[in-house]
Structure 1
Amino acid sequence: MKGIVFTEFLELVEDKFGLEVVDKIIQQSNLPSQGAYTAIGTYDFSEMLRLLKHLSEHTQLSIDDLLLAYSEHFFNVLVNSYPDLVSQYSDPLEMLSSVENHIHVEVRKIYPDAELPTFEILEKTDSKLVMIYKSSRAMYSFGLGLMHKTFEHFNTTADITLKKLKPDGTEVKFSIIITNE
């Protein structure tokens, strides 16, 4: 997993819960990296799982809720760091349906060894998008949060439902219907 995911996660934890909590979850997690991340480095996903587990225990928030909060922070990082990536889209469904064939292509240019989820579009209309998320990391809540922020960015509201196609969350169907335009 790319280091930017770790560095931004720890920044969010510091902003929301304080530096002491960052230090505490790093110590509790017994990380091979010792919590010393660089944005361009690559680190084992198990380190993120350990950090999330210990933050969840400390805050009494579920890992899914933490991933939702983190994805909202991360969306803002993406918009501020790569404004051209988002500014070329005029509507949220177009942007979301382009994740696999455009956005992830651009991410791989910056981070060639990034391990990204895949998104398969099953249906797309002007007001509806149905897609399948697949990832061995089962971070569908992170994806859900990014979707919410996408609609917020475009001042649009939508109903987003998800259905786990595999119990472990490695394959999830998202159905999105715009509720205002």
Structure 2
Amino acid sequence: MKGIVFTEFLDLVEDKFGYEVVDEIISKSNLESQGIYTSVGTYSFSEMLQLLQHLSAHTSISIDQLLLVYGEHFFSVIERSYAGLLETYKDPIEMLASIENHIHIEVRKIYPDAELPTFIVEQRTDDSLIMIYKSSRAMHHFGLGLMNKTFAHFKSTASIVLEKIKEDGTEVKFIINKN
């Protein structure tokens, strides 16, 4: 997992809960990196999972809810760092439908060893999209947060329904209807 995902996560935790909580979740975790991350480094997903589990235990907020908030936060990183990419899209449905065939290709140019989820478009109209998310990491709520902010970026709203295809969350259907 790319280091930027860790550095931004810890920045969010510090902003929302304070440095002491960052220190606590790092200290309670068994991290090969010892909690020292660079944005361009690559780290084990198990480290992120430990940090999330300890933050969830500390805050009594579910991991899914933490991932949702983190996904919404992470969209600001995309806006700052990849504004040109966002400008190539006219609306949120178009952008979300292009995750696999455009956005992930651009991400791999910057981070060739990035392990990204797969998004399969099952159905698309001008105002709706059905996509299947597949990832062994089951971070679908992170994706949901990114989707929420995608609509906000385009000054639009949508109802997004998440249906688990596999109970462990490694395969999920997103049903998106623009309001």
TM-score, normalised to structure 1's length? 0.98
Tell me how far apart the structure 2 counterparts of residues 100 and 172 of structure 1 sit (CA, whole Å): 15
**Identical aligned pairs, as a percentage?**
69
Q: Report the equivalent of 1:153.
A: 153
Q: Secondary structure at the match of 1:173?
A: strand
Q: Secondary structure at the match of 1:159?
A: strand
Q: Report the equivalent of 2:166.
A: 166
1:55-134 to structure 2, matched below 5 A, reads 55-134=55-134
Tell me how far apart the structure 2 counterparts of residues 79 and 160 of structure 1 sit (CA, whole Å): 21
Tell me how far apart the structure 1 counterparts of residues 15 and 129 of structure 2 sit (CA, whole Å): 34
Q: Secondary structure at the match of 1:40?
A: coil
For 2:34, give the aligned amino acid.
Q
Tell me how far apart the structure 1 counterparts of residues 103 and 24 of structure 2 sit (CA, whole Å): 35
What RMSD in Å do the two structures reach over aligned CA positions?
0.5
Structure 1 segments of 4+ aligned residues over 2 angstroms from their partners:
none
Q: Secondary structure at the match of 1:46?
A: helix
Aligned pair count reads 179
Note the residue ranges of structure 1 that are not aligned, 5 or more in a row.
none
Task: Quote the offset at 1:162 in angstroms.
Answer: 1.1
Tell me how far apart the structure 1 counterparts of residues 76 and 174 of structure 2 sit (CA, whole Å): 22
1:29-44 to structure 2, matched below 5 A, reads 29-44=29-44
Tell me how far apart the structure 1 counterparts of residues 162 and 9 of structure 2 sit (CA, whole Å): 24
Note the residue ranges of structure 2 that are not aligned, 5 or more in a row.
none
Tell me how far apart the structure 1 counterparts of residues 131 and 25 of structure 2 sit (CA, whole Å): 34
